[in-house]
Structure 1
Amino acid sequence: MNNKEIGKLGEDFTIDFLNKRGFIILERNYKVPLGEVDIIAQKGDLLIFIEVKTRRNLDFGIPAEAVDRTKQNRIKKIAELYISTKKPKFKKIRFDIMSIILSKSGKILDWEYLINAF
């Protein structure tokens, strides 16, 4: 399994997780020249930018640790671009992280959804 396939498995799991909890998916893999946000969702009057990190092991720490200050700042800038371009009407925004550990065969072993992660 390559990194792209691993990432897609994690994003597919996250989309399913969010849908089951009443979120509306607005964008998946929203790309601008500055970078990408994995998922943009809505729940009520809340606009949520979600970074999904999926790993096959903990050799480099838990997946969420990969969303360092630099990555957080980039996601915030992409969020500003999204809001200025799409002009969505939301009272609040939030930044969440889905952290996923897979087995070698691609089965989800563990996950954690971090609300308001940064």
Structure 2
Amino acid sequence: MDGHVDLGRYGEDLAARYLRDRGLQVLERNWRCPEGEIDLVALDGDCLVVCEVKTRRGTGLGDPLEAVTWRKARRLRRLAAAYLRSRPSAVPQVRIDVIGILAEPGRRPVLRHVVAVGS
């Protein structure tokens, strides 16, 4: 991995595979609108899942999950609403998840999944 973009893509690939392995259907990757971007949009049964992925090479800047502050969670809720406006459908539930990945060089990546942040 050469840079920040490669690290982010690597983390999103791991996260998408992790969600699929747990039975979720990944609908979108890097969905963009004027308000911002959603890393992953998935379907978990009848629940739409907006998933933020944070990947770090180390903990010098803190745990990857710590990067999702209350401000970021609020922004993710706005992005979830924008996504639903753009894709009218009968989705009864929406939740916001965060996947943190610690990808230290020479070690197996460690993935942590937090379900329904800020609920």
TM (norm. structure 2) is 0.92
Cα distance in 2, alignment partners of residues 63 and 108 from structure 1: 15
Paired residue for 1:68?
69
What CA distance in whole angstroms lies between the structure 2 residues aligned with 1:109 and 1:84?
35
- 1:28 and 1:108 map into 2 onto residues whose CA distance is 24
**Structure 2 residue 58 is matched with structure 1 residue 94:** no
Paired position in structure 2 for 1:12 = 13
SS class of match (2:86): helix
Deviation of 1:41 (Å): 0.2
CA distance in 2, matches of 1:35, 1:74: 8
- Per-residue deviation, 1:108: 3.8
CA–CA distance in structure 2, aligned partners of residues 45 and 15 of structure 1: 18
TM-score for the superposition, normalised by structure 1: 0.93
**Runs of 4+ with deviation above 2 angstroms:** none
Q: CA deviation at 1:87?
A: 1.0
Q: Describe the SS at the equivalent of 1:30.
A: strand
Query: How many residues are treated as equivalent by the alignment?
Result: 117
User: What residue in structure 2 maps to residue 111 of structure 1?
Assistant: 111
